[in-house]
Structure 1
């Protein structure tokens, strides 16, 4: 078989990347709405998870920064390790995030009394910071969906030693992934005062 007939690694993974990029957001959206108690499974809310998965987001951001520093210093192996660990952290975050939301009701920003409804006083007390929170949250969610195929394609291009294409896409992937990781921490810090005890 000559080289023109051989599929590149990226071409071989294309369908898998497309499937994963579609299935993960849909599965998370569905699982986010599913509560174990709806199936008669009574479990205590996994309320210890949010600070852990927020910390994992922070660790992901740190790994991304260290990975970029490593490649700028010409250390490809260290760069690869940091990026692989960042992907692993993102997967662990996702599992914990879904597990938490399958056992606990969503928290509403500004909901001081924990009844899941913002009354006029709560809304007034939350003020314009609530809109900032919603903007950060929505941009975090939207970009976390966009980042899935970008990360996977960028990673596969590196594995395939297509470094020019890898670098070009990484210039887009890196800042978006870093934003998602950092805003994951910010969202936690902003909403945590309203978590039910």
Structure 2
């Protein structure tokens, strides 16, 4: 049977590949528009709601593990990973069928919007390997390292989930 170190090295190679491929593919797909398809303009409020639900479930998952409810924590975290994948698919589909919506605000609010948007995007890219490595630690039964890594992953994931909702709320008045 493979030892944990070998398994972790295999996980890390796959995680590294996924962490590079996802942002590159998303960036490439942004340049592709699906012809003769109606814009999927109904998706932004749905994926904003998914971000909001993810934030709530992340907080409940932390509460669950701190109260010794490991099975609940595991189910909530798998749900959050699933929600993140669903968000990603919807986000890509929306941008492949719709033109980007420019932010119409001005002044200090526009600087705040762009700061939130840029930090949201950068941290969402950084979050991919963090979530996957944190998950791999738990999967391999290395709960001490899982806890240590989760101390960084959780606040970043929570920030990305909350700012996803904030970005939507700030830009939603400018959707066509």
User: Which TM-score applies when normalising by structure 1?
Assistant: 0.86
Counterpart among 79, 86, 91 of residue 97 in structure 1:
91
For residues 67 and 160 of structure 1, what CA distance do their matches in structure 2 show?
19
SS at match of 1:126: coil
CA contact (8 A) 1:64 1:82 kept: yes
For residues 181 and 163 of structure 1, what CA distance do their matches in structure 2 show?
24
Give the drift of 1:126. Answer: 2.1
For residues 169 and 56 of structure 2, what CA distance do their matches in structure 1 show?
17
Aligned to 1:32: 30
For residues 16 and 78 of structure 1, what CA distance do their matches in structure 2 show?
27
Unaligned 5+ runs, structure 1: 111-124
For residues 135 and 143 of structure 1, what CA distance do their matches in structure 2 show?
12
Aligned runs of 1:8-47 on 2, under 5 Å?
A: 8-36=6-34, 41-47=35-41
CA contact (8 A) 1:10 1:153 kept: no
Alignment partner of 1:77 is 2:68 = no
Q: 1:70 to 1:22 in 2, by over 3 A?
A: same
Unaligned 5+ runs, structure 2: none
Alignment partner of 1:108 is 2:112 = no
SS at match of 1:138: helix
CA contact (8 A) 1:17 1:149 kept: yes
Give the drift of 1:2. Answer: 9.1
Instruction: Give the aligned CA root-mean-square deviation in angstroms.
Output: 1.4
Aligned to 2:80: 86
| Greater Rg by CA | 1
CA contact (8 A) 1:35 1:102 kept: yes
CA deviations on 1:162-183 (whole Å, 9 max, x unpaired) are: 0000000000000000000000
For residues 100 and 151 of structure 2, what CA distance do their matches in structure 1 show?
34
Alignment partner of 1:147 is 2:141 = no
For residues 103 and 52 of structure 2, what CA distance do their matches in structure 1 show?
21
For residues 80 and 95 of structure 1, what CA distance do their matches in structure 2 show?
23
For residues 2 and 147 of structure 2, what CA distance do their matches in structure 1 show?
27
Greater relative contact order (CA < 8 Å, ≥ 6 in sequence): 2
Give the drift of 1:12. Answer: 2.0
Q: 1:29 to 1:170 in 2, by over 3 A?
A: same
